[in-house]
Amino acid sequence: MKKIYIIFVVLAALAVSCTKNFEDMNTDEKHPTEVPGVTLFSNAQVALADQIASTNVNVNVWKLFAQYWTETTYIDEANYDIINRTIPDNAFRIFYRDILADLKEATRLISLEKPLTDEEMVIKNNKLLIINILNAYSYQRLVDMFGNVPYTEALDIEATITPKYDDAATIYTDLINKIDEAINGLDESYGSFGSADLYYDGNVAAWKKFANSLKLKFAIHLADVNNDEAEVYAVEAAPNVFTSSNDDCQLIYLGATPNTNPLYEDLVLSGRKDFVPANTIVDIMNSLNDPRRDDYFDTITGQPEYTGGIYGYSNSYSNYSHISAKIQVPEFPVKLLSYTEVEFYLAEAVERGWNVGGDAESHYNAGITNSILEWGGTSSEADDYLAQPEVAYTTASGDWKEIIATQFWIASYTRGFLGWTIWRRLDAPTMNIPESPESDDGQVPKRFTYPVNEQTLNADNYYDAAQAIGGDFMSTKLFWDIY
């Protein structure tokens, strides 16, 4: 028996040795099987764009929260039921697993590359800094969704599978520092990702403008928390932000699946009729005789006027205006940050007394005009619209916050998270209350509640985070939402 055992051990050792030698002989060291860092960067770009664009209520309800759209038959999400489909869990998972994890791994792999020339070294550095910019954009979105989130201990399962939640304001500060490092470190004389960059095709100068525009956005979000600090950020960024729609950060989708805009999949390929424009936006645009209505909505046979479904109530698809066919084409782009958005931030910055150049009215007009033009309108239409007393900056009703917020919100149609955030920051325009709101206070939510999985799998850190922000409720305001 002992001899048999010895023979078995020897044979096993030989098998392991042969297997190892076989693997060695069949490993192509010049062409590793590990996914390249540039590919992971591209994957993260697609995952981020898809999450922003999607209207699949399992992962994205922002067009509903912003009251751009409302539901027809199934109205749970328009009534702020985010638990039944575990929507926070799904969004949380997409950001950490599909976006931030890929960006982190892309950083690791690109950091391991061995540049042979000075030029290759600069290109490598540009790549790493661009990843940091997109990382900052993604984390800001997470913070603006939940509040405190895992940050310093996130995405390191070797260290911990139960990461702590970092203070949201502290995360903001660190992200701004990363943006500054990128702005100061990017070398526009050299390239970066080339065609693997699905937003800017490797254009480093474009990424630098994006970083400055993102920094301005951070500053605006911090304005009510620390005006002096926010002003410094804004003044530093303003000279180098977007100056036309040519600078927009966007992903332009392709005409064939699986590379189409998720809206095309949700609204056309699915064959479903789950959404109609909400009366919230339709009524406001009707009252202003807005020239973008025929770009945002389609009328239905026998009903020449634009009519929105009652927000948060059951609406017959055949009785209300429809979502414009323009939005439902497979190539429809998704914007992460736009020139129109930047102009409204600059208008707000001037009103706050910051020296960012220009006057509030000019920036306000530029934001509105550019929005109309990029939807296919004319300069004449924009001029006529701005001439209306209800729209003109000096005569529109309300204080500057309400005036800017209303037009900014209208211009952000299709970008639900931005529209919802405008309302959260500036408390305008007036939103409707749905039939049976599931939010704890019966109002429009101020944040997502934390994922249910975090309550069970990361309980201690979850409870610490919930206590730190003032309770894990949809009514709990984020740190920058103090009014």
Calculate mean pLDDT across residues 297-321. 96
- For the chain, which residues make up each domain, given as ranges? 37-257+332-469
- Percent of the chain residues past pLDDT 70, beyond the cut: 93
Cα separation, 323 vs 376, whole angstroms: 16
**Cα 345 to Cα 223: distance, rounded to the nearest angstrom:** 11
**Tens-digit pLDDT profile for residues 26-59:** 444 444 457 899 999 999 999 999 999 999 999 9
- Which pLDDT value is given to residue 305? 95
Question: How far does Cα 361 stand from its chain's mean position?
Answer: 27
Average pLDDT of the chain?
Answer: 93
- The answer to whether 331 and 255 are in contact (CB under 8 A) is yes
- Taking residues 266-278, what's their average pLDDT? 96
Tell whether the model's pLDDT for residue 8 goes beyond 50: no
Q: What is the mean pLDDT of residues 264-289?
A: 97
Q: What is the DSSP letter of 278?
A: B
Specify the fold of 37-257+332-469.
1.25.40
Reported as a pLDDT band with limits 50, 70 and 90, residue 196 is very high
Predicted confidence at residue 28, as pLDDT, reads 46
> With 80 as the cut, is the pLDDT of residue 334 above it?
yes
405 closest CA partner among 344, 350, 343, 477: 344
pLDDT at 33: 54
Residue 35: what pLDDT? 87
The single-letter code of the amino acid at 156 is: D
Q: What is the pTM of this model?
A: 0.92
The kind and range of the H/E element at 466 are helix 459-469
Distance CA(62)–CA(55), nearest Å, equals 8
Nearby residues of 180 by Cβ (< 8 Å), 6 or more positions away = 215
The DSSP secondary-structure symbol of 313 reads: S
Q: What pLDDT is attached to residue 34?
A: 74
Residue with tokens 């069949």: 26
Q: What confidence tens digit (pLDDT) does each residue in 49-102 have?
A: 999 999 999 999 999 999 999 999 999 999 999 999 999 999 999 999 999 999
